[in-house]
């Protein structure tokens, strides 16, 4: 069976488990805590392949919001180990995306414990050539590797390298409740950041559309 995972419901919209008896999906949560949820999901059913979906921050100039990235290497910030996806399923997914969508790229992803908020930090993280940054990718890949399960990660760029994110984003990401309500609370607390949230909301809609389309193509490419 193939398992499709993502940190939040918004990032798994392109996958409908009911369409296929051989596909299941799960929301694993944001940040390093995703690991325990993912391990539990792997224990619930026999899984031989995992597609990891999500948004990511861009680390290189020219990577615009909505760019689809097939992750070909994963590392944790400050650690030497690098993980790579299995060649066969990676090639199938990359080929399927390239056949339908323009501008798909392949590159490395760095996983960090907290959101990268400012351009200076993003440039530091991308100094070795990694294209994107997230908070779950390496954790999931490491668990899958230990379990002997193939995992391919697909990410869509949300914020670009020169975008400075509101400093309330960590609270928004970690908070419980609807994203709209949490964002409203954040803006009320810091009204001067309203413009930043409006721009981020616009980018979020664009990224969601791109990820939903990529998710459908990627999962179907491994099922047929």
What pLDDT digit, counting tens, does each position of 41-94 carry? 999 999 999 999 999 999 999 999 999 999 999 999 999 999 999 999 999 999
Question: Considering only CA atoms, which of 115, 132, 125 is closest in space to residue 167?
Answer: 115
Task: Indicate the pLDDT class of residue 196, thresholds 50, 70 and 90.
Answer: low
Tokens 């940040």 sit on residue: 31
Residue 57: per-residue pLDDT: 96
Tally of structural domains, the chain: 1
pLDDT tens digit string along 150-191? 999 999 999 999 998 876 554 554 444 445 434 444 444 555
Residue 76: per-residue pLDDT: 97
The CATH number of whichever domain residue 209 belongs to comes to 3.40.50.1580
Residue 10: per-residue pLDDT: 85
Host H or E run for residue 24: strand 23-27
Collect all residues with Cβ–Cβ distance below 8 Å to 120 and sequence separation of at least 6: none
pLDDT tens digit string along 2-20? 999 999 888 987 776 545 5
Residue 202: per-residue pLDDT: 83
Q: Of residues 25 and 189, which shows the higher confidence score?
A: 25
Tell me how far apart the alpha carbons of residues 5 and 157 are, in angstroms, rounded to a whole number: 17
Q: How many CB atoms lie within 10 A of CB 19?
A: 11
Task: Indicate the pLDDT class of residue 201, thresholds 50, 70 and 90.
Answer: confident
Find the domain containing 203 and state its range: 2-223
Residue 185: per-residue pLDDT: 45
Residue 16: per-residue pLDDT: 63
């Amino acid at each position: 069976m193939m398992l499709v995972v993502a940190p939040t419901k918004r990032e798994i919209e392109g996958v409908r488990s009911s369409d296929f008896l051989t596909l299941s999906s799960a929301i694993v949560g944001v940040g390093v805590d995703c690991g325990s949820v993912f391990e539990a999901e792997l224990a619930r059913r026999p899984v031989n392949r995992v597609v990891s979906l999500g948004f990511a921050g861009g680390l290189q100039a020219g990577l615009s919001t909505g760019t689809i990235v097939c992750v070909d290497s994963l590392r944790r910030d400050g650690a030497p180990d690098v993980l790579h996806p299995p060649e066969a399923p990676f090639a199938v997914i990359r080929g399927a995306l390239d056949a339908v969508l323009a501008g798909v790229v392949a590159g490395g992803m760095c996983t960090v414990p907290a959101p990268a908020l400012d351009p200076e930090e993003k440039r530091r993280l991308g100094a070795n050539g990694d294209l994107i940054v997230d908070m779950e990718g390496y954790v999931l890949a490491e668990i899958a590797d230990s379990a002997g399960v193939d995992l391919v990660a697909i990410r869509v760029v949300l914020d670009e390298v020169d975008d400075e994110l509101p400093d309330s984003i960590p609270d928004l990401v970690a908070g419980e409740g609807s994203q709209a309500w949490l964002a409203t609370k954040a803006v009320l607390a810091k009204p001067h950041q309203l413009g930043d949230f409006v721009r981020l909301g616009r980018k979020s809609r664009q990224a969601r559309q791109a990820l939903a389309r990529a998710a459908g193509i990627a999962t179907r490419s491994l099922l047929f």
